[in-house]
Each structure stands twice: as structure tokens, then as C-alpha cells.
Structure 1
């Protein structure tokens, strides 16, 4: 069954609920107050009736008249006493319970048991006459519903000679209660209206705090948010202003090797990740983008953003993923680019050669055409023989062949030392990282040489795997790198060319070498330019993990 309240706006629902609560509370309090007031008034009336009866019972003339059964004296006196005390009636009876006075003269001389329910078998079993006890009662008598106070009349000898009954009709009590009912009804309606106004104000304030959304919309957004978090491959962790974890996704658990999913919420971030930088972001409010952090032997790329509300920092959200994934994409793109450059260079070079050979054949210079073909074949065959003998690894050999063709396309010469030897490359060194390092260093050498000497310049490469390191030495004929710039050349965005969007290649080289535990040295070349020497240890480095983390 559909809940009709779900079709109402939040403001309407809150107004109805708060108004109904106020109505029920004030109604309950009003009924309780009226009931308590009724009981209190009846107690006061009963106490007054008993006190008046006791006062009349000790009057000497009353005692004497009762003993003498002097109705003529008692009848007008009882009427006068009732008027003076504002009682509904004052009835005086003898020791047998027979009326000696009554507001209705016709009832004089008759038993008082028709006013009470104490008569048994025609005898009057009134406690005041039998036991001498004064008491009060609420009963329906010949004069209607009344509260009565009854007390025995005792002579000087202590004998019970009669009884006095003083009654007050409840009309007075009812009139007082009626006035209070009206007052309470006004109070209830006023409280209801005040509650409605408060509910409207609170609902407006509450709606503003939740950006005008309805509860069902918030629930839907919550479900969408959970689904979104779980669908993201990046790890997500969020903390509140106290540094307590409020949100995380499954990718965060898997990436950071965390467990106890149910116990992670509500835990301080410093307890889960002791050296987390999220606390510093929480304190200074400065976002952090693309930060590299280490956890164990894994490197992560992390972004941390403060969450603000009304210029207050109420939390921090951190996203992170293993750097390996980004490096893998980068390496794949680098290899694709290298293959493309290699193919383009070879296509361009062989196109020129074919045009030259075709021209020689057309003019009848067959010997020259054959000589050119033989020279080209000899040069490439010599390079291929060198690469096959010195570098059995096909990935590195293919990279160098592509760079050789790229240099020729640029009008440069890439000279690979014939004494080079690179056959002992450990399996733990990723070939993609090695190719990225050598490829970027060669590209940098090509640019430096071309910008300084122009076409015809040379770039040399020497390799050796003797000893404990793989050593690569790349020498260019560029303008050289000043000593004061060598410390900054590997920073991102720093370039000796002074052009925008440069300074990426050497920064990437430095990152890759750091990951492999390698070092690089920059020296002036023999004639001009710079010499880059890379030392990559054959032994797998034991990474000293830096503190993380999220």
C-alpha cells in the first residue's frame, strides 16, 4: 500500500507531524490538568462540607434540639445555616437516622437512607451513627448528585445522639471546570498554531541545509553515490573535520590491502594510515594534485581535495591509483610513438632512395644505381649485425634501430659504438622502462645537437653490461648544460630551450631511473655538448618505502 505522506512535500509533512505532535501533547496535558483540577476541586468541596458539618455538630443548641427531637427549632436553623455556608443543604437527623430537618419539609421524619446506599434491611447502617466516624461521600440523593460531609452529633457524655449531613451540589465544580476547559482549548489551539509556525521555519531551514532536496531524492542520490564509488577503479577515501573515515570504496580496500570493511567506517584516518597527508590538507585547506606517494614497494598517484561548507573545511576526499597503471599507459603510448617514428623515418628515407634509384635508371646510370643499392644494404646490414650481436633483446634493439632511422631523417648520425655489449639484462628490469629511458635521452640529444650544429651533427651511444651495472653513455653535440642548471634539468617543466610545454622527457627519465634504483651523471662532452651516463644496477633494489599515503 502506498504511503500517502510520500506524495507530500517535506515542508508539508514536517508541518503536519509537528502540528499533530503539539496537538496530542497539549491535548494530553489538558485532559490531565482538567482531571487533576476536578479531583482537587472535589477534595476541596468535600473538605469544606465535612468542616461545616463538624462545626454544626458541636453547637450546644443543635445537640440539645436533637436530643429533644425539636424539629421546629432545627428546621429553620438548618435552612439558615445552609444559606450562610452556601451549602446546597444541611440535613439533621436523630440517632435512628430519622430526619429532623430537610430542605423539603415533606421528607422530615423519614429515614435518611433514601439519600444514601447504607440502608440494609430497613435499618440505617451509617458509619457516623454506628462507629462515630466522620466521612465524606459523593452520592445521588433526593436533591441530586452532591458531595456530602457527615459527622455524628455527640453529647457531653460521649453518646451519639444524631447526625449532621452537609452537601454541596457539583454544579459549582462543573462551572469552574467549564471555564478551565475554555482556557485550555485556547491554549491548545495557540500551541498548535505556534507549532505550525515553528515547523514552517524549521522545514525551510532544513530544506536549505539539504539543498532543497526531498528525502526520497536524498535516498536516490545516496544509492547513486554508492554505485558511483564502487564503479570507480580509483581508490576513494573521505574523512570528516575530526579526521574520521566517513566514506571509502572497494577499490580503496583492494589497492591499500585493507580489510575489515565493517570496522573501517568511523575509524581515525591516522589509525588506519598513520602517515596520511589528508590531515595536513584538513588543516591548511590546500589541495594536492598528482602527488606521488609510496606504500611498501608500490607507488601511487594521489589527489587530495578539501570539502568546504560556508567557508569551513568539513572534510577531505582523497583519490589514488597505482602509478604502474599510468606508467603502463605511458609506456604503451611511448612505444607506439617510437614505432610510428621509426616507420615514418624508414618510409621517408626509402622513398628518397627509391626516387634516386629510379632517376639513375632512367638516365641510364645503372652502375651508380647498383652501387647506391649495395651501399644502402651494406650500411643497414652492418647496423643490424651489430644490434644482433651486441643486443639480443628485441625490444631494445628495435628501439635503437628506430632511433637510428630517426636520426638520419633529421639529418643527423647516430653512432653506436661497435664495442658496445648489452646481453646481460636482468629479467626484473622492465624493458618498457629501459626503452623509455634510452629513447627519451636520445631524443633529447637529437634536439640539442640539431639546434646547435644543424644537419650533419652526430650523437654517439656506448653501452656495456660488464660489472654490477648496465651502463649507457649518450653524448651529443649541443650547446652543453651550465653547471647551475644541471641540478634543475630533471624538474618537470624545466628546459634549456626556454620553450613552453617542454621539460617533460628528462623529468620522466629521472622518475623511471629512481624507480629502478639507477643514477644519472651529466658531464661536458670531449669537444662540445653534454654526456649523459646512466648506471642501472643489475641487482634488484630494495625500495625504502616512503610514508604514504592517503
Structure 2
């Protein structure tokens, strides 16, 4: 398996880039400077050799010696003194037109002929610089012709320095340039490290790739929230809004970003929070006919307020969620069903009384009382938890209203205080399971009007709590069952179907089991089994 390559940090990227730039600059600068300094050095050296050669060509001692065509002690002493006083000049040669030397630093060479092959042009009366190998080695030379009083050339002067000296001078320049470049490189690396650290500190120690990842993850997290989030900068301009916020204010991202919050959300007044730096909680307003509850929080960078954040939620949705979580909606539905059923029965009694059938009315009331007593006694004897018992009675009444037979199996039993679940959790599970069963029977796909039945079984002992609800409704496919177990599916449309999600969360938190057995056209059986006992120090 190929090992994933670790990305280079921003610190090292900046250091590498800066070092490369410094090196390229140094190499280019050094090459240009070195060429310039070497050329300048050679020009200065050539100028010095030219000056000495010109001076000697005009010196009377040199002219007289060449006219005599014989070496003289006076010339030797004069030129030896010049060589002794100038360290950059190594060789001086004076020769006649045939090239025979009348002076040489090596006195044994006097009388011998000039060596190097670069003296032809000086015999033509030209002065110039050249490089050639003489008797003493490779030299940088300057030639100058010598003329007598009648302006007739009688010889020439050659002044030179050893090329080894020139090379030493070049090497010294190169070494000094390398030292300077090394110093500049060290300074450049130091500045690059300082710049990299400063940039990294400004990014709170994160790498650019990490920042992109964090921003992407945060955006996904914020967009997954049901609360609407709107953030503004210190100028009151909107800099962020998640999907829930855009939905609440009926806007698109491009319509509100960098716009004044006072223009887009005048009800929230986020600029006041920026100015005051104070939080405000549980405020309410109306935005686009939606009842909104919101909090306002200042955004701080250390002690300075740099912006503000509004956290908004639809109050209606909050009420619905609270009702789902507490089971209030189930009790309300049960009360409505009871109210509707008893109103129907009261209308029957009223009708009997109006037609004078008092005996029939008495019998009807007695029968109703007897039937209701049986149902209530059956439920309360088996279900000691009063809230759950009331819920079941309400669901039975609702079933009667919908022509659905709802029955509790006779071997059911639930103590007043369950060892496994709180009363709220019991109401949530039982209420949602029965409601879902009624929806399955009442859906448009279900056509079996003669077999509409819901069977409930609740039993608790020391080992576990079992809740099952069976219905003869439309049933579910295997795919639907799997999606429900994974908590990502609702058959009730957008904004509904939270019941199964709540059940699944309670079961998971209690380390229980949720089992679903269903077939299309036959019905569904859902069982909840809880084996982990809860902490009875909590609410019942």
C-alpha cells in the first residue's frame, strides 16, 4: 500500500521559497558582480601596466640604452628599483627591434631574445595588452614601443605580472563574494523563518490546508443545525449565514452577504450587540410571518468585540419538538379523542331524552358506564403507571373514533415506577408507536376496512422491559425498515416523522433493541426491549 505523502507545512514552504529566491538572487548577483569586479580588476591592472610601460618608454635611460644596443648598470639599477617598489609588477623587459633583451629581471636573460610570440604588433609601433607564456611563466603583459628623438622606433618595453597573481586576485574576489553571499543567505533564511513564524502565528498555528478543512467542516456542521446562525462584523455587515437562517429569512447567500444587518434583519438589531458587547437571550420577534425566538452574542477577539452572532429558531417548531419530547401531544390527542367520543355519546343521550325515551337513555348510560368501567379497570389493573394508563385510554378512544380496534393484551404489566425507562420516555415510545400504527391503517394504500386492529403488549419484570405494538396496516418494505433503524427515513413527509427518531434515540441511550417485522399488505410489528436498568435517582 502506497504511503500517503505528508504535506509540507506553510513554515517550510515559506522557508524553501525564500531560500530559493535568495539563492537565485545571490547566484545571479554574484555572477554579475564577479564578472564586473574581475573586469574592473583587469582594467585597473592593465592601466597600471600601461602607465609603467609608457613611463619607461619615455625614460632617457631606456632610450640611450637601446640606442647603444647594450645593457647598462644604470638601466638595471633604475628598473630594479621600480620592480622593488611595485608588488603588482613582476617582470619588465626592454628589447631592441630584433627582440634582443637589454634588460630583464633575470640578468642571465639579458642578451637573449624575447619569448612569447606576442611582440609582433609592438614592432609595428602599437601599444597593447596580451596574455602569453614567457620564460618565467604565464603572464599578463603590456607592450609599448620606444622611439628616439627623431621619432624612429628603436625597441619596445614589456611590463607584466604573473597570471598566478591575477588568479589569486580573482580567487580573493570569489572568496569574498562567497562569504558575503553566505552571510546574505543566512540573513535571508533567518528572515524567512521569522516571516514564516509570523504568518503561522497570524493563522493561529494552523496550516492553510488545515484552515480549509476546518472551514469546510464547520460550514457543514453549521448547515446541519436546525438553528439559524447569522454573524456580522464590527461594521454590522453580514459575514455568515447558515442554511437554516437563510430559510428563516427567505434569502440566498449572495443576497445578504456583506449587506447591512440593519437592512436585512432590522428586528434583531445586531449592531447594538456589537456596540454594547452584551449578550441577550430568549428574545422573540416576527420575521416573514414566522414567530422567531433568538439569542444575541458578541464575538470577541481577546477583549475586543469584533462582531456579533444571532442564533434563531422557529418558535412553532420548538413547541412541536417539546411536545414530542414530553409526550404532551399524545395526551392532547387523547383528550381530543375522548372529548369527541363523549360529545357523540352525549348527543345520543340528549336525543333519547328529547324524544321521551327516558328508559332507553338510562339503559344507554348504564351500558356506557359498564363498558367504560371494564376498559378503565382492565387498563389500570395492568398498567400501574397513571400517565401511561391515561395515554392508553386516550388512544383507545381515538381508535374508536377512527373505527380502529385498539386492545391491550391481558398478560401486560407495567409498575408505577419503571426500573428501565422514565415516564416521559415510556409515553414517547408507546404514544409514537400507536400513532404510527394508526397512520399505517388510515393511509390511502390500506383498503381492508374489516380488519383494522392494533394490539399492544407492555410487560416489565426484573430482567427487562418489553413494549410491542402490532398493527394490520399497509406494512413496510425491507428498505424502509433499514432506513428507519438507521434514523434517516420518514414516510410522513418533510417536517413530520420525528417519532421514530425519538424512539430510536431512547432505545440507543438505554442500550436496548428495536426490532421491526413488517410485510406489505399484511401489517407491522415493532418491539422495543430494554435490559439496562436506569438510575432511579432521576425523574420517574
Greater relative CO (CA pairs within 8 A, separation 6+): 1
What TM-score do the two structures reach when normalised by structure 2? 0.49
What TM-score do the two structures reach when normalised by structure 1? 0.49
